[in-house]
Each structure stands twice: as C-alpha cells, then as structure tokens.
A and B are shown apart, each in its own frame.
Chain A
Amino acid sequence: MKRTLLLLVCLAPVLAHAQGEELENPGTVLAVQDRTYRMASELWIGIGVAPLDAFYKGVTGQVGYVYHFSDSFAWQVGRGLLSYNIKTGLRNQLETQFGVSPTAFPQLNWIVGSDVMWTPIYGKTSWLNSSVGHFEVFGTLGGSVVNERIAADVASGSGQTVFRPAIHLGLGARLFTSKNVSFRLDFSNEFVIYKGLEANILLVQLALALNFGGTE
C-alpha cells in the first residue's frame, strides 16, 4: 500500500506536467508532402565486385528489371550477373610454389535470379544547406541460380560448369536524381547451397536505374 502511494506521489508531477504541456501546446504537426519520386517499372544496369573469395576477385556486370507494385513493395522480376574473375596473388602462390591443384578453386561464372523488394525507408537529406536530395533504403530476398566453373577446366579450356541454387539476401539504397533516373548501391549475398554446405558470394554493386511510367 505504501509503495503504491509512493509511486503515485512520484508520478503525479510527471502527469501534471504532461497535462499542462498538452493544454498549452495542443496538437501535433506533420509536414505532409506528395512523394517527389515514385518508382513504377525499373530497368537497371550496374557494375560491381565480388570481393569475398581469397583466391579470385570478380568484377561483375549485372542488369535487372523491377516492377514496383507500390512505394514499399516490388518484385525484382529478373536479374543476370556476369563475372570476370581475376586471380589473387595468394592463388598464384599456392599453385606455383606449393603445387596446390587448380581444381580446388571453383569460381563464379554467372548468376540469374529473382527477388522481392521491400522499401521501408524513404527520406530526404540536405546537402550543404543548399539542396535537398531524396533517397530510399530497401532490402531484397529471393532465389538465384549460380553457375560456377571448375578452375582446372578453365585453365585447360574444357569449360565444365556446374549449376548451384542459392538464396539471395540484399540491402540497398537508392539516391534519386530525377523522376526517371536514380542510382542504386547494393550489398548482397548469395548463400550457395553446395553439398550440404553453404558458400557465400558477397556482391557490392553500383547501378544506374531508369524508371518508366512513374506517377507524378
């Protein structure tokens, strides 16, 4: 009982203050604006890197098409990536000095996939107090098919490839420059399912996105 009374005594000033504030400054204010930028059909082309593998670095080119159902939900209908791989010094060293077989190094060839895209954040930013830029942050989740080549075959020119399924998870941001043009920065990871183990292909990409049919 005493505790309850003590609690009430402590809370009373807080409640009184809140009520006084509400009486003196009633109401809330929102800045309600029409969205300056709205996406509809998006075609994008990007370049990026696959930096994670210690034995090669992939320079990637990727294109994709996204259909936006609303301002927050979209379907990345299709995307296709092609990787140009560059051996790292470590791999050269392993092959030449330690006689490690080249077959031990699978490498990425291409990826195709489809995802859903969720855009929970739309915002604006001030640049040097002189201009306002708009951006959004989105996440992607989907499936991919990863095509890899066995490194030994690449060296011999026989070109044997393997297809592996993967789960795509990504996070990206888009900076709008006009109603039709925006730039995307994507970080994504392909969780490749391979003999019961998971291998990661991390991709970092900068893309130019063209928007068609966006509402004003």
Chain B
Amino acid sequence: MSVVRMQPVTAAAVALVLALPGFAQTPAPQSTPPPPATKAPAAAAPPPPSAAPAAAPAASPPAQAPRPAGAAAAPAQPGAAPAVAPAAPAAAAPQAGQPAAQQAAADQPPPKVDPKIFDEALKDYFDNKQEQAARKLYAFIESTPPTDENFAWAQYFLARCLIDLNLRHGGAVYLAKVAHERSNPQVLPKTLEALKVLTQVPHDEVLIDEQIFGSLDLGFLPDSVSDYANYQQGLVDLRVGNERWARTHFVKLDDEGVEASRAKFALLVTRLRNAKQVDDQMIDDFLELSKDQKLTQEARNEARLAVARLRYEKKDYEGALKAYDMVQLPSLDPGRATLYLEEAWTRYNLGQLRATIGLLTTLDAPSFRDEFLPDKYILRALVYRDLCQYLPAKRAAKELTRRFSDSLEAIRERDDLTQDFRLRRAANSHGSTRRTAKFLESLNLEGEQLGRHAGGFGERLYKHLQKVYDLAHAEAERLYQQRLQEAVREEADRLLRADEQVRLMEYEVGLKLYERVKRGAKLVQPEKQPALTSAQIAFKFTGEYWNDELRSYRVTIPSRCIEEGAQ
C-alpha cells in the first residue's frame, strides 16, 4: 500500500531541434466542447412547414448535404485513398454480419421526413438523448435542401451530438461542413468555437487547422475566434517560410491575448531555425517569453529550454545551467529525458563529472526506460574514461550496442525500419509523427465506439459515419506512414552516429586498459565532496527511484587516474 523511506539524521553539442508545431502552446485538453446555448435555434427561428418540401430533397439530394451511400461521405478529407483504404476496426465487424437486406436498405434514397423532426431532434438533444437526436438530425439533413434555414443548425447539432458521444472526428466533419458552407451566419461563431475546442485534442490537422482556420475569411469573424484564426493562419505562413505574411496576421492579434504570446514564440522559434548565428538578443527574447504568464507552463518551459540550448551553443555553460534550473516541473512530475541529458552534457563540459553521472543515473529511471537516448551511453563512457575508470567506461560503451543490437542489425540489413520496435517508438515520441499517431489512435478508439451506437443511430447514419471514419482512418494511416518513414530514418541516423562514436570510445579505452603503469605512480588526490549542510537530507540510493529525487542524485566515485610526472 505505502512505501516508507527513512533516513537517520546522523547519516545525514546538443542538437538544437526546435520543431515549430511542438512549440505551439497546447492548452489542457478537454474531452468535449463547452455546452451550447440552452435555447434551441428552432425556437428562435422555427422552420416553416412549407419551407422544406419533402419531395424535392428526396428526388434530388443537395450537393453539399451528406449523402447516404456511394457519394463522397467526407468531402473535407483531403487526399483520401479509398481504393486502398483499410477498413477501420469499427467498420469491419458490424459489416461482416450484416444481412444483405440491410445493406440494400442503406443504399436506398433517403426517406421523406416531416420537417418537424428537427424540433423533435433538438428536444432529444436537450434531453440528453444524443443518439436519437443524431438519427433524426441526419434524417432531416438528408431530406432537406441546404437552403433551408435550419439546415446549418441541423449540421451543427448533429456535430454536437457526435462530440457528446465521443465521436469527435465525426463531429469535426460536420462542423467543418458548416464552416465551409457558411449558409447561416448565426451558426458560424458557435461552430468555430466548437472547432477551436477540438484543436486541443488529437484532431485532423488538415481538416481543421489548415482548411478551416488556415483559410478563413477573417473579416467577419467574432472576436472569440478571430485571434485564434489569425494565429493559425500566421502559423501556416511560417511553416511555408513566409515570415512577412505571418507577421501581417500576427500584428492583428490582441496584445493582451494568449495568441499574441504564442505568436511571439512561434516567430522566435522560426527565426532560430533560420538563424546562422545566435545573438544575445534572441536569448533575451526567449528569456522574456519564459516569464510570460499568458503562456502555459509547458510553453514557458520550452522557452527556458531554448535559452539553455542557445547558451550552450555559445559555450556559456554556467548560463545554460541557470536556464535549466529555471525549468519548473509539476510536483512529482518526472520531467523530460532530454532535459536531463542536455543538462548532463552541460555539466560534463563544465567538468562536473560526478554531477553528470548523477543525471545519467536519473535517466536510468523507469520513467525514461523507453526513451531513445543513444547519447546517454556515450556520455557515461566519456565520464568514466575521464575518471580513468576504464572497465566501467568500456562496459557503458558496449551497453549501447547491446541494447540496440536489433535496431543496428535492421539498419545494416536494410530492413524496413518502421517495423523496428525501438526506432518506431522513438519516431512516435515527438513531432508531427507523434501527433499523427495520436490522431490515428483516437480514430481507432472512436471507430470502436461507433460500433456501440449502431442500434441507436439507425442504419443510414451508422453506415454514413462508418464511411467517414474509414476515409479518415485511411488518410491518417497514409500520413502517419509517410511521417514515420522520415522520422525513423532520422532516428536511425542518430543511432548510427552514436554507434560509431561508441566504437571509437571502445578502442580508446581498450588502449588505456592495457597501458603500463609507471614506477612510483600515485593516484591523483581525491576531490573533496561538499559536505551535507544542516538543511539537507541524504537518502542512499539502492536502485529505487522516487520522482521527487530525480534531480538530486549525488555520486561519489573515485578517480583512478595517475598523477602527472610519475617516474
């Protein structure tokens, strides 16, 4: 149940990889958008019974409305590959056992429905009967022309129903339709706000970030989303390398808003990526940004890390250490492995060998066991070599080849590197590959959940959503594989470089191991370890890692080097 740790009182050139999307501030994710206005739009603008003649949509379905079968179910999905689309997990099972009669029924033209079904659907929605509401809203959308004044509201509320049922991508598709079609100006602000909330969880970046926020006409947007849209459009410009255009968007941001701070951050990161030489002004800018309370803690930490990395590049190691110390972690948060590794390199360059080993001890913690850190083994071997502890140095160097032997073998054999477990995990751990993997994972989960609503949604909506999810899954899978290919190649390069260094190290240490000791040789005087102060407490480390101790390891290790000038 509980573990007790007691201590008697008496015992008392790091690579600067700053991927722009990774720097984008990510607010705390919310599972669903905020609840809509309690007042139903139908109450404000009830659909006149004569406004939507039932026969017309049945005979000729509107071009923009979702079509039941055969037609493009997800018009917003770019570059989909339906010919090779693998079936989503949710789609496969229900389809297998489906009678042919039901399949045929789903392919039938949409049945005529009474326009009053829209009011009933809204009542169901506000009574928290999302499944029934979704079925009715979809029937309404299918049989109503897009010119109907409630058409956009129906799409919006169908999206809300789906989001409430944790089918976020399905909801996003319908919100995107409302944003694209813009048939009802009253619906648009709510739609954009709901889409903005969806960007906080894994989402289709092309559909929402690029096709909606990245291409919106900004003239008519409400204040609540205009800053966000400007920020997104600026980001799109930055990604394609057009800082001047990005600035035209960023200058429109409210200075007091969070987007303004995020925009500053994005600009700095972009400038840093393009800069040939780091100047002090850039460091100061990052430092200032790290104090900006409008940014999230994570973004402020990123700014501090940027300061530390820049100072390291300028060989200001003391300054870099100060910046690393400024990184604030939540209580009991283990932090990030790269943070410790970078700090370890900094301390190594300062000659703090024992502190370096302390940080490398941290990196052996279970929290970081799955991290892909080939540098760790090189650094450990370097420290042991500098302390003339040649056996441990050789062992540390060999550890890399031992641990990554499968991956190295796969690289040498020119196997498909995406199938290598370690490289794949490393590639999935950061950047755009990570985001795509998360989106793919969320699609899989939502696909499974969709199957649970098969009965409640009815045949037509269920089949339609299956198609939407199948297309999205196929596209996400394609994008993921594409990004994964590039990412594993980068990780393989890193591993090969580390392997090469380790072999050199092994050779060097091997020579040292068998070096003859001269007569009268003496070991160098051991360094004095700083004594514990009265305000400090020491716990002997026995292999059990406590998250609150990860930055506190102090290693006592003797140097076995021989004094200079021995006979």
Measured between alpha carbons, how far is A120 from B2 in the docked complex, in Å? 22
Binds A, one of B67-75, B128-136, B539-547: B539-547
Chosen A-B contacts, 20 in total, with CB atoms closer than 8 Å, are: A23-B392, A24-B392, A26-B557, A27-B357, A27-B555, A28-B555, A30-B538, A30-B539, A32-B553, A33-B548, A72-B9, A119-B9, A121-B6, A121-B7, A121-B9, A122-B6, A124-B4, A124-B546, A124-B548, A126-B4
B-side interface residues, number (CB < 8 Å): 39
Asked if B2 and A32 make an inter-chain contact with CB atoms under 8 angstroms apart, the answer reads no
Q: Are A125 and B4 in contact (CB under 8 A)?
A: yes
- Which of the segments B56-64, B495-503, B529-537 contacts the partner chain? B529-537
Beta-carbon contact of B2 and A126 below 8 Å: yes
Q: Which residues of B contact A70 (CB under 8 A)?
A: 534
> Which residues on A sit within 8 Å (CB–CB) of B532?
32
A120/B10 in contact, CB under 8 A: yes
A121 to B558, CA, bound (A): 30
Flag if A123 contacts B7 (CB, 8 Å): yes
- The size of the chain A interface, using a CB distance under 8 A, is 32
Q: If A31-B541, A33-B549 touch, does A26 touch B558 (CB 8 Å cutoff)?
A: yes
Q: Are B9 and A122 in contact (CB under 8 A)?
A: yes
* Closest Cβ–Cβ distance, residue A32 to chain B (whole Å): 5
Contacting residues, chain B, for A132 (C-beta < 8 A)? 332, 546, 548
Does B552 sit within 8 A of A, measured CB to CB? yes
Give chain B residues whose Cβ lies under 8 Å from the Cβ of A124: 4-5, 546, 548
The CA-CA distance from A30 to B361 in the complex, in Å, is 11
List 20 other contacts, CB 8 Å, given A24-B391, A24-B395, A132-B546.
A24-B392, A26-B389, A27-B558, A28-B540, A30-B556, A31-B541, A32-B538, A33-B536, A33-B538, A34-B536, A121-B9, A122-B7, A122-B537, A124-B5, A125-B4, A126-B3, A126-B4, A128-B1, A128-B2, A130-B332
**Within the complex, what minimum Cβ distance (angstroms) separates B561 from chain A?**
13
B554 within 8 A of A: yes
User: Which chain A residues (187-201) contact chain B, with CB distance < 8 Å?
Assistant: none
B536 touches A31 (CB 8 A): no
Question: How long is the Cα–Cα vector from A120 to B10 in the complex, in angstroms?
Answer: 7
A125 to B548 CA separation, bound complex (whole angstroms): 12
Q: Determine if B8 is an interface residue (Cβ-Cβ < 8 Å).
A: yes
Q: B358 contacts the other chain (Cβ, under 8 Å)?
A: yes
A-side interface residues toward B, CB under 8 Å?
A: 23-35, 38, 70-72, 119-132, 215
CB distance from B501 to the nearest CB of A (A): 22
- Chain A, Cβ-Cβ closest to B557: A27
A122 to B554 Cα, complex, angstroms: 19
Q: In this complex, what residue of A is CB-closest to B384?
A: A26
Closest to A119 in B: B9
Q: Check A30–B558 contact: CB distance below 8 A.
A: no
Contact B535 A38 (CB under 8 A): yes
Nearest Cβ distance between residue B47 and chain A, in whole angstroms? Answer: 53
Instruction: Report A-chain residues with C-beta under 8 Å of the C-beta of B391.
Output: 23-24
Cβ of A72: which chain B residues have Cβ within 8 Å of it? 9
As a 0/1 sequence over residues 1 to 31 of chain B, the CB contacts with chain A under 8 angstroms (1 = contact) are 1111111111000000000000000000000
Chain B residues with CB below 8 A from A129, complex form:
3
* A74 → chain B closest CB, angstroms: 12
- Give complex CA distance A24, B392 in Å: 5
- List the 3 closest pairs (A to B, CB-CB), nearest first: A27-B557, A123-B6, A29-B541
The answer, among B354, B357, B549, for a CB contact under 8 Å with A31, is B549
Residues on B with C-beta less than 8 A from A27 are 354, 357, 555-558
Q: Which residues of chain B (141-157) have a CB below 8 Å from chain A?
A: none
| CB <8 Å contact, B539 and A31 | yes
